[in-house]
Amino acid sequence: MARMHTRKKGKSGSRRPIARIPPSWVQYSKDDISGLVLKFANEGKNPAQIGQILRDEYGIPSTKVIAGKTVSQILKDASQLGKFPPDLISLIKSAVNLRKHLKENPRDLSNKRELSNTESKIRRLVRYYHEVKKLPRDWYYEPEKAALLVK
């Protein structure tokens, strides 16, 4: 499959093998994992960061295999998942930082293109989230309002 904003093809990636039973070396139960997820969420981590911490520091390869739910599902059940999806928030943060950089450096053409690509990804993602009803139909990306959203 081709890359989104280049003409290159890219490399194929590796995939994690499908596991239906928890690995024997994992010493944590469902309740332990849910507690850890909620603890890290209270510290302000997003679901991707929580998954990385569980994998790297606690040796939990997949919360879905062990706990039966993904990190996002655990947070949703505990009503701690944010109003906006985390991938959208991270893209908006990078767009806000690029806009701030371009105010100070208006002739930086490579970052101007990067901002254009990032905002195009945001609009594409917003369209998808409208379809799956994760965002309200009347919410659209506006750079000034988005800057207030992530501060």
pLDDT digits (tens, 9 = 90+) for 49-84: 999 999 999 999 999 999 999 999 999 999 998 889
Closest of 17, 53, 26, 19 to residue 37, by C-alpha: 53
In the predicted structure, residue 6 carries a pLDDT above the cut 80: no
What is the dotted CATH code of the domain comprising 86-150?
Answer: 1.10.287.10
pLDDT grade, residue 47 (50/70/90)?
very high
Q: Where are the domains of the chain?
A: 30-77, 86-150
| Residue type at position 139 | W
pLDDT digits (tens, 9 = 90+) for 84-136: 999 999 999 999 999 999 999 999 999 999 999 999 999 999 999 999 999 99
**Which residues lie below 8 Å from residue 115, measured CB to CB, with a gap of 6+?**
95, 98, 99, 102
Average pLDDT estimate for 129-150 = 92
pLDDT value for 2: 61
Whole-angstrom distance, CA of residue 36 vs CA of residue 53: 10
Give the global pTM. 0.78
